[in-house]
Structure 1
Amino acid sequence: MIRLAELALQTEDEAAAVPIVSAAARRAGTNPRLWQWTGLLHRALDDRVAALQAFTKAATLAPYDPSIAHGLARTQLEAGLSAVGAFETAHRIAPLDGDVLLGLAAARLADGDASRACAGLDVFIRKHPGWIAGHYSLARLCWMTGDDLGFVRSLESALSKSPRDPALWKALIDLLIKAGQYERALSTIAQARYAMGDAVFLIANEALALSEIGRCAAADTSFALLADTDDVNIVVHQVRHLLRTGRVEPARDIIERWTASPDFAPLWPYASLAWRLCDDPRWGWLQGAETLVSVVDISAQLPSLERLATILRQMHTARGEQLDQSVRGGTQTDGILLARTDPEIISLRTAIVAATRAHIARLPARDARHPTLRARRDRAPRFSGSWSVRLTGAGRHANHVHPAGWLSSALYIGVPPTHDDDPHAGWLTLGTPQAELSLDLPATRCIEPKPGRLVIFPSTMWHGTLPVASGERLTVAFDVKEPV
């Protein structure tokens, strides 16, 4: 039964395995491992109610098992329940498990206790300064609470004791770049070179930062040292630099050399820009088909939008924007929104799944070369992320793409009133690249936000919003995983 469950998780065939494994768990009665696997299968299917029942049974039978305690706590958190006590139990059982500590911090944040979430991570990091995942989590939490200067303090402290540790330098520079603090990143790169000598990641981040702040000649020099790289992330920034500086054909040439690579995925959004700028017909093949985008009204399938808005507002507990996200002038919820067990969220998820199925059925014919059309279509939609965004004042989404998704979305729950002086305020734009790329490309499509309206589009497609003049814009968004 355990081998069956493991294989089902690997092949995403949990729906076939869960009745068999759960029946075996009931027959065995007192086998905690079978109840744990039943919980894991239900959790993979986004059925947190059944998963909680199974994990609770497993924890009753094996109260000191670390993986079962962690699974129960994680499922409670994802379900939208208070999980601090469950994570504290798991932490007592496995005090050195970093994943449990990260979960405990997330649970405290979900309960509105960001200061304690930060303090708990900080205490552990002081004892274990090489814990990179902890540094990242603490930095993101500090950023969300408005500490845009001291958010990397833990890494700076760790480096004062281990100045030759490349992993610590890499994390520090990466976080500064994610925060858009490029001058500070360049200063840190100079410090790293003094402490440990040069390294490829220092050259690459230096080139990136120089390009982003407009020091193009210096960026050219750094990128020239990376001309033979096989790291697609470095290539992405080379292409960004060339596009930003008006060298579209050299950017397209680099993209052409990478088209056959299995690592090409991060380059699709930039291929769309290069092809469009060059009037290459492949842009039409990539993003021109109308049925790649759906605009549907699902308000009749949703619970009361007012009630849904009330629930979502209660989840917007952060004081500031998340690090390295597109929200400007608003907040984004943490955690997996569509995993929650609130009746309204369950109804919301049901409506979204049905609309996503219908969108997939309307897609153009399968094409093995196309990042959206290559996927199989006989699987139920699965989500790689789901969240809510609340914009106020002049809030907006900066133009961006979703590298972790196959399909992306915007579902409007509440929109501000329109004004004659700015009738397009808050509209969704498709096809306009990041402002930082300085490309004169208008939107290929603009979509008016309306309560209950759902827009689904390829995750490789650039999208953003026009600022709202005033009022509140409340949305739900999700990424659909590419089926395997």
Structure 2
Amino acid sequence: MNSGQSPVQRIYDLIEKGRPKDAVALAAPMASRIDASHALRAAYAAALKAVGRTKDAYDVQRGSSRAFPNDRIAWHNLAAAAVDVDNPREAKAAAEKAFALGLDAPETWTIYGRVLIALGDTAGGQAALEKAVARAPGHAVAAVLLAKLIWMRTADADAAVAPLRNGINSPGADLSMVLVEAKILEAAGRTGEASDLLEGWTQGYPNDAMLARATGQARMERGELPGAEWMMRRAVSLDPRLTAAYVGLASVLMAQGKAEEALAAAKAAAEIDPGDQSTWGWIATAARALDLPQHRELYDYDAFVRPYRIETPEGWPSLEAYLADLDAALSRIHTMRAAPSDQTLRAGIQTIDDLAQSQDPAIKAFFRAIDKPIRAYMAEMGQGNDPLRSRNTGQYRISDIWSVLLREQGFHVDHFHPRGWISSAFYVSLPPIVDDGKHEGWIEFGQPPFAVQPPQPPERFVRPEPGTLVLFPSYMWHGTVPFEGSDRRLTIAFDAVPA
């Protein structure tokens, strides 16, 4: 460490070198002094965040904004920290204070756009993100958020990819913008353009692991399996710590019937990041092909897939009356025209508001109504060494929550939730077709989203009913059987993680 560095520089240097605990130890006594500078407090907060203490980091930034009320950077930092602790209202107020003090940074406009979207103001969020990219076209976070939002609000792929194309030509631009452009083109049905885009950029940047992984995925979807495998192996070699590369390799190996190699790739990914649920999903898939006990250990449907009928929330005379109000509340915020470009939804739309911030009584009551079933599920699963039960602390928090509205022929492509623990499907209203005995509109489990060798059809179906919450491990393949008819299917889904 350079002895000529300032304390602030030394703290950031330790963080950059992967020693955040040492950074916290160095910063704590200095940052606790009453005369500590804003820069020192900000460095301490960065160290706390680096070790996962986001609430403590937020407290430091909040105290800093009080100690330096006229420092616009202090208010920007508070806005960012408030986002980290899921407090978009405080983040909004802090960003507005920073603007009032003269800050006009793209990073602040990006934060402001994010929190406006979370609070349901998608038009305001788009305007804020447009200001961010106007100030810094190469700001990847802003350009990506803006592109995804435009796509969902308009279903206009050309308008959506415009900020990405402008940004990628800026100095030092992030190649992640290329990946998002490809996803939007795919969502618009322009798969050929998406494939050509990825192939072209991969030729220009042959050493980018994420580009190689995305190109391998595109080749697999075109049925070019040997070429896809080569590209996935290249992604692994370029970044041996990239779990997505191993998972992509496992998927293309399964498509070719190479289950033993797929199992090895998925296990390598799990060793790197055991919290990534996609690794366990592919371990189970390969184990099923090989008829190994681990498949049934991970996919114990009787123990791990459980439906619960919620109780009528206080304030409503019946569950039916509550569901009617919840339907109305959700319908008011289903304003998008297209599904998220990177999601598994087909012939339907999804909310992007943070439902946890809703002031609607029916939506607020939903969080109270699901608490008892979630706690029952945790108690029933118990303790164990598998990736579900080993994380069971008896406490949880909702990490993400959204609502989906499916129309005729709507469905979810089979998928899992990589960053979840317990995933869910709650049924608000359903089309009559779900009662016809053909599984239309039902949730299915166990089937990968594309052909693997040997084939793996669904192993379990659960019939949806209004007022029923189905809970299951986030690593389980699950999807929706398409349904006929003009009626809609309205649900809420969320991921819970240990607390």
Find the counterpart in structure 1 of residue 281 from structure 2.
Answer: 269
Read off the aligned partner of 2:245 and give its amino acid letter: I
Q: 1:211, CA displacement in angstroms?
A: 1.6
Matched, 1:354 2:372: yes
d(CA) in 2 for partners of 1:238, 1:322: 25
Percent identity of the aligned residues?
Answer: 26
Partner secondary structure for residue 403 of structure 1: coil
Match of 1:245 among 252, 256, 260: 256
Match of 2:245 among 229, 234, 248: 234
Find the counterpart in structure 1 of residue 343 from structure 2.
Answer: 325
Distance 1:285 1:300, change over 3 A: same
Find the counterpart in structure 1 of residue 174 from structure 2.
Answer: 168
CA RMSD of aligned residues (A): 3.6
Q: 1:429, CA displacement in angstroms?
A: 0.8
Find the counterpart in structure 2 of residue 192 from structure 1.
Answer: 201
Find the counterpart in structure 2 of residue 22 from structure 1.
Answer: none
- Tell me if the contact between 2:411 and 2:480 (Cα under 8 Å) persists in the aligned partners: yes
- Tell me if the contact between 1:292 and 1:364 (Cα under 8 Å) persists in the aligned partners: no
- Following superposition of structure 1 onto structure 2, how do residues 114-193 of structure 1 map, counting pairs within 5 Å? 114=123, 117-145=125-153, 146-162=155-171, 165=172, 167-177=173-183, 180=186, 183-192=192-201
Find the counterpart in structure 2 of residue 343 from structure 1.
Answer: 361
- Tell me if the contact between 2:216 and 2:228 (Cα under 8 Å) persists in the aligned partners: yes
Find the counterpart in structure 1 of residue 8 from structure 2.
Answer: none
Find the counterpart in structure 2 of residue 41 from structure 1.
Answer: none
Matched, 1:459 2:474: yes
d(CA) in 2 for partners of 1:250, 1:136: 35
Find the counterpart in structure 2 of residue 24 from structure 1.
Answer: none
d(CA) in 2 for partners of 1:301, 1:132: 43
- Following superposition of structure 1 onto structure 2, how do residues 246-395 of structure 1 map, counting pairs within 5 Å? 246-258=257-269, 260-263=271-274, 265=276, 266-288=278-300, 290-301=302-313, 303=316, 304-367=322-385, 370-379=386-395, 381-395=396-410
Q: 1:301, CA displacement in angstroms?
A: 3.8
Read off the aligned partner of 1:220 and give its amino acid letter: E
Read off the aligned partner of 1:285 and give its amino acid letter: E
Q: Cα deviation per residue 1:234-260 (whole Å; 9 max; x = unaligned)?
A: 111111111122222321233345554
Q: 1:113, CA displacement in angstroms?
A: 5.0
- Tell me if the contact between 1:398 and 1:434 (Cα under 8 Å) persists in the aligned partners: yes
Match of 1:444 among 438, 459, 476: 459
Read off the aligned partner of 1:147 and give its amino acid letter: D
d(CA) in 2 for partners of 1:473, 1:340: 21
- Structure 1 stretch 302-311 or stretch 386-395: which is displaced more? 302-311
Q: 1:300, CA displacement in angstroms?
A: 2.8
Find the counterpart in structure 2 of residue 206 from structure 1.
Answer: 215
d(CA) in 1 for partners of 2:370, 2:221: 37
Q: 1:411, CA displacement in angstroms?
A: 1.0
Distance 1:83 1:170, change over 3 A: closer
- Following superposition of structure 1 onto structure 2, how do residues 50-89 of structure 1 map, counting pairs within 5 Å? 66-67=75-76, 70=79, 88-89=96-97
Find the counterpart in structure 1 of residue 49 from structure 2.
Answer: none
d(CA) in 1 for partners of 2:416, 2:97: 39
Read off the aligned partner of 2:231 and give its amino acid letter: S
Q: Cα deviation per residue 1:407-432 (whole Å; 9 max; x = unaligned)?
A: 00111111111377664221111112
d(CA) in 1 for partners of 2:439, 2:202: 49
d(CA) in 2 for partners of 1:102, 1:149: 25
- Structure 1 stretch 382-391 or stretch 122-131: which is displaced more? 122-131
Read off the aligned partner of 1:232 and give its amino acid letter: T
- Tell me if the contact between 1:415 and 1:474 (Cα under 8 Å) persists in the aligned partners: yes
- Tell me if the contact between 2:184 and 2:341 (Cα under 8 Å) persists in the aligned partners: yes
Find the counterpart in structure 1 of residue 497 from structure 2.
Answer: 481
Q: 1:402, CA displacement in angstroms?
A: 0.8
Q: 1:376, CA displacement in angstroms?
A: 3.6
d(CA) in 1 for partners of 2:158, 2:439: 35
Q: Cα deviation per residue 1:164-218 (whole Å; 9 max; x = unaligned)?
A: x4x5334213441475365434433454366566544443333222122111232
- Tell me if the contact between 1:182 and 1:213 (Cα under 8 Å) persists in the aligned partners: no
d(CA) in 2 for partners of 1:211, 1:247: 14
Read off the aligned partner of 1:472 and give its amino acid letter: R
Q: 1:161, CA displacement in angstroms?
A: 4.5
- Tell me if the contact between 1:415 and 1:451 (Cα under 8 Å) persists in the aligned partners: yes
Find the counterpart in structure 2 of residue 47 from structure 1.
Answer: none
Distance 1:136 1:366, change over 3 A: same
5+ residue gaps, structure 2, are 1-19, 21-40, 46-57, 317-321
d(CA) in 1 for partners of 2:84, 2:209: 40
Partner secondary structure for residue 347 of structure 2: strand
Partner secondary structure for residue 151 of structure 1: helix
Distance 1:104 1:443, change over 3 A: same
Distance 1:236 1:191, change over 3 A: same
d(CA) in 2 for partners of 1:420, 1:454: 18
Q: 1:298, CA displacement in angstroms?
A: 0.9
- Structure 1 stretch 411-420 or stretch 308-317: which is displaced more? 411-420
Q: Cα deviation per residue 1:314-353 (whole Å; 9 max; x = unaligned)?
A: 1111111112112211111113213433332232111111
- Tell me if the contact between 2:78 and 2:91 (Cα under 8 Å) persists in the aligned partners: no
- Tell me if the contact between 1:110 and 1:334 (Cα under 8 Å) persists in the aligned partners: no
Distance 1:90 1:299, change over 3 A: farther
Read off the aligned partner of 1:357 and give its amino acid letter: R
Match of 1:416 among 431, 443, 449: 431
Matched, 1:430 2:452: no
Distance 1:70 1:314, change over 3 A: same
TM-score, L = length of structure 1 = 0.76
- Tell me if the contact between 1:232 and 1:264 (Cα under 8 Å) persists in the aligned partners: no
- Tell me if the contact between 2:140 and 2:167 (Cα under 8 Å) persists in the aligned partners: no
d(CA) in 2 for partners of 1:358, 1:193: 48
Read off the aligned partner of 1:382 and give its amino acid letter: R
- Structure 1 stretch 337-346 or stretch 307-316: which is displaced more? 337-346
Read off the aligned partner of 1:126 and give its amino acid letter: A
TM-score, L = length of structure 2 = 0.74
Q: Cα deviation per residue 1:74-114 (whole Å; 9 max; x = unaligned)?
A: 699968x8998885555444421525534335526855653
Read off the aligned partner of 1:252 and give its amino acid letter: L
